[in-house]
Structure 1
Amino acid sequence: MVWPSFGDSGHLVFAICQLIGWALVASIIVDIGRVFPSLSTTRSGRAGRRVLLAGCTFQVLFALAYGLTAAASGEPNEASFVLFLAGFLAQLVGGIVWWRAMKPEPGLRVARIGVLATAILGSLAMAVGTDPFHDVFLLSSYAAWAAVGMSAVRASATETEAISQLQRPVS
């Protein structure tokens, strides 16, 4: 939908956006695990996080393969889309597993819904190849990651404030 307006450089713009976007998603996943260490105490919490990070890795590899082949030949290698699909399959599995692991964390209620939304919307984007549905599902899955990040930041601030309240000396 958007990329044709960039002319010949559209493939490179897309690859760069994918690379930056999935690096940011990986940072959200890592930060949630760091701020909410209880997610790492369960097998599903660790597995979900790892599979989500593997999905991000596949997406970054896709962006590199897509961008490098587009830069070299003017067109991306279509085989690079196997990495794109693998990334979204990992996001589906990891998202569902991590969604279940987040249940005991009341501060992550909104982030939890967002993680499930990314899993479902990303898989719908892969299953439905016709436009505009593919693009709507794909962009919605990206937007859901933004919601996950924003809600996790809010939950982290709330938890930090509660901890600082507990640590204040009683006068």
Structure 2
Amino acid sequence: MSDQEIAVEKKLNALPEVTGDGDIEIKRCDNPYKKWYTVSGKTNYHIPSWWNGTSYKDGPGGTIVVEVLKSGKIGIELSGNVSAEAGVILAKAKTEFGIKVVAEAGVTVGHKYSRDIRKGYYGHMQYGSWGYKTNWTKYETSADRCGKKKLGSGTAKLPTKEVGWRYWETRT
């Protein structure tokens, strides 16, 4: 994105949010018509791989020993109430937060791990990407070009190349 495009987007982000088409009266602003995304609220998030050989439970007590048995890929996961462009949200997150997220992370066979389980508890292991979760919102310039209209919003789970095991314990 060029410096000029970034400047236009910053100006549009500062517009007031309106419902409907905005104030369609005599008033007219000179802002360009555009659709754009914002991202906010980055948190660390373990994005699990859901295929066979990457999720285990053992116990109660003892030691859990796990290994990745199948290779695969962990990709961006989007949810929301309108369609969204994963590549655009990925680029926004990289720019906004300065994080090293990727479109997909590869998982290879063989990553072994063991962990002692507390007495009376069950140990759970899930393989995945140590990525991020963020919120996204899609906007467009209002009909009068004086405000922004929210088109929809959702969440994005963005993987990094850092993959590994997540461990937790439960009583059952």
TM-score interval (norm. to shorter): under 0.3
More relative contact order in 1 or in 2 (CA 8 Å, sep 6+)?
A: 2
Select the structure of larger CA radius of gyration: 2
Bigger proportion of residues as strand: 2
Bigger proportion of residues as helix: 1
- Which TM-score applies when normalising by structure 1? 0.27
